[in-house]
Amino acid sequence: MKITVVGTGYVGLVSGACLADVGNDVLCLDVDPAKIRTLEEGGIPIHEPGLLEIVRRNVAAGRLSFTTDVEYAARFGAIQFIAVGTPPDEDGSADLQYVLAAARNIGRHMDGYRVVVNKSTVPVGTGDKVRAAIAAELGARGADLSFSVVSNPEFLKEGAAVEDFMRPDRIIVGAEDERAIQLMRELYGPFQRNHEKLLVMDVRSAELTKYAANAMLATRISFMNELANLAEVLGADIELVRQGIGSDPRIGWHFLYAGCGYGGSCFPKDVKALVSTGREHGRDLLILNSVEQANDAQKLRLVDKIVARFGPDLSGMHFGLWGLAFKPNTDDMRDAPSRVVIGELFRRGATVAAYDPVAMSEARRIFGDDPRLRYVDRPMAALEGADALVIVTEWKEFRSPDFVRVRELLRHPVVFDGRNMYEPVTMKRAGLEYHGIGRS
Ligand code: NAD
């Protein structure tokens, strides 16, 4: 099949590359010429395990190409995926300007039947807006062409995106006409060879399903964080509580880790957008309002602990910080807790030496050359001359450090661990004062 993917970010590039890998002809469009240049030169603009190999393999096979030409892109694929960003607007609602611009471009230049598949996370009702935008463009040029609009939200996780796309848990297709449903079945056939994973529903339910999934996961995290904060004052250990409840199959093991808050490009903005949708329709989403508030507060938990230990004025103090990305295996720092922690340490007069395996260039882009933030190329180098260690992201390489060396390098043998990576007894044995989340 000939497919156009609009947007070459985490979702668009992974989808495009994986769809090419099963034999389709895929053209990826982006309005950012720098991204397209990087791709044409054989690189990829993001860090995503396994993605570079797939991109290179399919470019070499002639199945994957890139462009900034919107007209060519609209004419290329009978299936047009929209995978552009939907960042939060000022009031928290999803900003649809990129989705609608993509839809208008398709309507303006398409020259035959198109299935327009929306992969971006969008509020309920966006399918209708996309349909109207395309129809308006067709009307303006007097073109009598038919098209279908499908909602196909994406559930891949950054850091495991290729694997998730290749082996999805489920494929949600919101569509109301048979022709489009049939095409989507054919398109996703190669990704569900063992058993049927495609769930067809109406467009509005499909749009809401994506928000429901992310809101549920965010709720589990905020719930555990709240209990962790309580466990601290009660003298209980949230890690034991986690094991105690996760073994109940009605609860399950996933997303029960307490920590210094969730971040990333999806949970914060999607919870906000769903709250905003509720408000727009006269429904105050009490649980999700609290999930968001709890998370904002949780991002400051590490600094609260630092203040409790060293006092509110941290001027002259220097901290080693491990982990900048919002989670391991990605360079994404959108809404990352590290940004809040670093900002608050600065505000209180401290300086930071940071290490992250892949997110340091992204951090440089965000913080510019702020002299209060120094980057180092090894975890241990962040501890040289540091008053204490602060851990924000649970990268695998931090799991088993040489604790003796950690103690020797730090001026005070204190570790603030926002991801509960270590056992308090191990730390005690190593002579380190350990502050986890929810661990008494
Ligand atoms: P991103 O910001 O990484 O990429 C979006 C890309 O779209 C950018 O490269 C941008 O230049 C391009 N773009 C914007 N307007 C365009 C236009 N009119 N024509 C062509 N290109 C255009 O975004 P992302 O993380 O890939 O997310 C895309 C969507 O998918 C969002 O709605 C997001 O919520 C959703 N989503 C993201 C993830 C994730 O893990 N990142 C997972 C599931 C769903």
List pLDDT tens digits, range 15-46. 999 999 999 999 999 999 999 999 999 999 99
In the predicted model, is pLDDT for residue 306 greater than 90?
Answer: yes
Nearest residue CA, atom 30 of ligand 1? 120
**pLDDT the model gives residue 440:** 78
Residues 414 and 351 in one domain: yes
Asked, for residue 407, whether it belongs to a domain, the answer is yes
Quick one: the chain helix, strand, coil %, rounded to 5?
45, 15, 40
Positions annotated as catalytic residues are 266
pLDDT mean across residues, the chain: 97
**pLDDT the model gives residue 220:** 98
156 pLDDT band (50/70/90 cuts)? Answer: very high
How far, in Å, is the centroid of ligand 1 from the Cα of 156? 13
With a pLDDT cut of 70, the percent of the chain lying above it is 100
In the predicted model, is pLDDT for residue 193 greater than 90?
Answer: no
Residues 186 and 279 in one domain: no
**Binding site membership of 73 for ligand 1 (Cβ less than 6 Å):** no
Q: How many domains does the chain have?
A: 2
User: Which residues, other chains included, contact 254 with Cβ-Cβ below 8 Å and sequence gap of 6+?
Assistant: 220
Asked, for residue 352, whether it belongs to a domain, the answer is yes
Asked, for residue 356, whether it belongs to a domain, the answer is yes
How far, in Å, is the centroid of ligand 1 from the Cα of 292? 22
CB atoms inside a 10 Å sphere around CB 55: 25
**Rounded mean pLDDT of 280-294?**
97
Residues 292 and 424 in one domain: yes
In the predicted model, is pLDDT for residue 62 greater than 90?
Answer: yes
Residues 39 and 183 in one domain: yes
Q: How many residues does the chain have?
A: 440
179 vs 113: CA distance, rounded Å: 11
**Rounded mean pLDDT of 109-123?**
98
Pocket test for ligand 1, best of 5, 11, 130, 331 (most atoms within 8 A of CB): 11
Residues 257 and 116 in one domain: no
Residues 195 and 299 in one domain: no
In the predicted model, is pLDDT for residue 58 greater than 90?
Answer: yes
**Binding site membership of 48 for ligand 1 (Cβ less than 6 Å):** no
307 pLDDT band (50/70/90 cuts)? Answer: very high
Atom number of ligand 1 nearest to Cα 10: 26
**Binding site membership of 67 for ligand 1 (Cβ less than 6 Å):** no
Bridging pattern class, strands 373-375 and 351-355: parallel
How far, in Å, is the centroid of ligand 1 from the Cα of 44? 15
Asked, for residue 257, whether it belongs to a domain, the answer is yes
**Binding site membership of 351 for ligand 1 (Cβ less than 6 Å):** no
Pocket test for ligand 1, best of 47, 265, 269, 329 (most atoms within 8 A of CB): 265
**Binding site membership of 24 for ligand 1 (Cβ less than 6 Å):** no
Residues 186 and 254 in one domain: no
**Rounded mean pLDDT of 51-80?**
98
Residues 242 and 194 in one domain: no
How far, in Å, is the centroid of ligand 1 from the Cα of 420? 31
pTM (two decimals): 0.95
Residue 429, exposed/middle/buried by CB under 10 A (0-12, 13-18, 19+)? exposed
Asked, for residue 207, whether it belongs to a domain, the answer is no
Asked, for residue 223, whether it belongs to a domain, the answer is no
How far, in Å, is the centroid of ligand 1 from the Cα of 392? 25
CB 8 within 8 A of CB 35: yes
**Binding site membership of 11 for ligand 1 (Cβ less than 6 Å):** yes
**Rounded mean pLDDT of 319-345?**
97
Last residue of one domain, picked from the residues 201, 219, 242: 201
**Binding site membership of 84 for ligand 1 (Cβ less than 6 Å):** yes
**Rounded mean pLDDT of 324-345?**
97
Structure-block tokens of residue 412 = 């005070």
Q: Interhelix angle for 10-21 vs 51-60, to 10°?
A: 50
194 pLDDT band (50/70/90 cuts)? Answer: confident
CB 59 within 8 A of CB 94: no
Residues 40 and 161 in one domain: yes
Last residue of one domain, picked from the residues 201, 225, 243: 201
85 vs 32: CA distance, rounded Å: 12
Provide the ipTM.
0.99
Query: Quick one: which H or E segment has residue 321?
Result: strand 318-322
- Phi-psi map region of 118: left, alpha, beta (phi>0 left; psi -120 to 50 alpha): beta
Last residue of one domain, picked from the residues 147, 177, 201: 201
239 pLDDT band (50/70/90 cuts)? Answer: very high
Residue span of the structural domain in which 404 resides: 234-435
Residues 194 and 244 in one domain: no
Nearest residue CA, atom 20 of ligand 1? 30
Asked, for residue 218, whether it belongs to a domain, the answer is no
**pLDDT the model gives residue 90:** 87
Bridging pattern class, strands 147-151 and 433-435: unpaired
Residues 253 and 190 in one domain: no
Which CATH number is 58's domain given? 3.40.50.720
**Rounded mean pLDDT of 67-86?**
98
Residues 268 and 396 in one domain: yes
Asked, for residue 225, whether it belongs to a domain, the answer is no
**Binding site membership of 173 for ligand 1 (Cβ less than 6 Å):** no
**Binding site membership of 172 for ligand 1 (Cβ less than 6 Å):** no
